[in-house]
Structure 1
Amino acid sequence: MKCLILTVLVVVTVAFAADEKYTTKYDNVDLKQILSNKRLLKGYVFCLLEKGPCSPDGTELKRVLPDAIATDCAKCSDKQKNGSKTVLRHLIDNEPEYWKELEAKYDEKGQYKSRYEAELKSDKKE
């Protein structure tokens, strides 16, 4: 009986962990406004690089970013996945210095770079 209860607890725990998603609390942040405003963008970048203070949404982003990168955004909502593509594309195309610094911090070995660059290229073709 104890074994059965333990098995059920493990299955329930795994099921809940598998359904875990990042909070959607900040999904309505206006990314276009942030990306078009150098001051706002710098604030977020400096937050992620630990060079400046973080807003509540910046703190949440900094907390989940390593996991999101490592898991190919498996816990992201569709809106978060689309938003991350928008931000990546903007940083790569328009803010190469910020991109290099963020890449050095969050992808030191370059293991995720090729995956995201290939994905962004395929998105441009569509």
Structure 2
Amino acid sequence: MHSIVTIFLLASLAVSVILGAEVRYPTKYDNIELDSILGNERLYKQYFNCLMNKGKCTAEAKFLKETVPDALATGCSKCSQKQRNGMFKVMKFMIQKKRGDFNKLAAIYDPQGAYRNKFAAEAKKHGINL
């Protein structure tokens, strides 16, 4: 009987740790070279077209497309620091060099501008004026 109680307690502890653990996005694609994508018009367009629902998606682009709405809604709270830094790098690039593309994506993923308002202060810390 003692061993059953012990197993039950350990199982309960494991479940509470799992349920209480902070949920994060997978880091599977964290080592992608963003500079290589942003600096290569062909690669950039592939990602952009995927996000715009106008082209085929690589596995990485599909993951990004599926993650963006939740990341925007949660203020990127599930992002690792590397993912947050990457997000701001891409935003800065797009606003400075591809503003039209940024506006097209914003029309799809943030049509009311709520997320731009939510991120404005933090973006400014990264030198980005939304």
TM-score (norm 1): 0.83
- Give unpaired runs (5+ residues) of structure 2: 1-7
Is contact 2:76-2:84 (8 Å) kept? yes
Compared CA separation, residues 123 and 16, structure 1 to 2 (3 A):
same
Q: What's the offset of the Cα at 1:38? A: 1.1
Does residue 50 of structure 1 match 2:53?
yes
Q: What's the offset of the Cα at 1:118? A: 2.8
Alignment partner of 2:62 out of 22, 34, 59:
59
Does residue 38 of structure 1 match 2:38?
no
Tell me how far apart the structure 2 counterparts of residues 105 and 69 of structure 1 sit (CA, whole Å): 12
Q: What's the offset of the Cα at 1:69? A: 0.5
Compared CA separation, residues 101 and 76, structure 1 to 2 (3 A):
same
Alignment partner of 1:114 out of 89, 113, 117:
117
Q: What RMSD, in angstroms, separates the aligned Cα atoms of the two structures?
A: 2.3
Compared CA separation, residues 15 and 45, structure 1 to 2 (3 A):
same
Compared CA separation, residues 17 and 69, structure 1 to 2 (3 A):
farther
Tell me which residue corresponds to 1:123.
126
Tell me how far apart the structure 2 counterparts of residues 49 and 123 of structure 1 sit (CA, whole Å): 25
Work out the number of aligned pairs and report it: 118
Q: What's the offset of the Cα at 1:39? A: 1.0
Tell me how far apart the structure 2 counterparts of residues 66 and 60 of structure 1 sit (CA, whole Å): 11
Tell me how far apart the structure 1 counterparts of residues 97 and 121 of structure 2 sit (CA, whole Å): 18
Per-residue displacement from partner, 1:22-81 (whole Å, max 9, x unpaired)?
110000000001111111111101101110000000011111110001101111111000
Tell me which residue corresponds to 2:3.
none
SS at match of 1:124: coil
Opposite residue 87 of structure 2, the aligned amino acid is S
Tell me how far apart the structure 2 counterparts of residues 114 and 29 of structure 1 sit (CA, whole Å): 28
Tell me how far apart the structure 2 counterparts of residues 17 and 46 of structure 1 sit (CA, whole Å): 37
Tell me how far apart the structure 1 counterparts of residues 67 and 85 of structure 2 sit (CA, whole Å): 16
Identity of counterpart residues, as a percentage? Answer: 41
SS at match of 1:19: coil
How does 1:62-101 map onto structure 2 within 5 Å? 62-101=65-104
Q: What's the offset of the Cα at 1:117? A: 3.2
Please tell me whether Structure 1 or Structure 2 has the larger radius of gyration of its CA atoms. Answer: 2
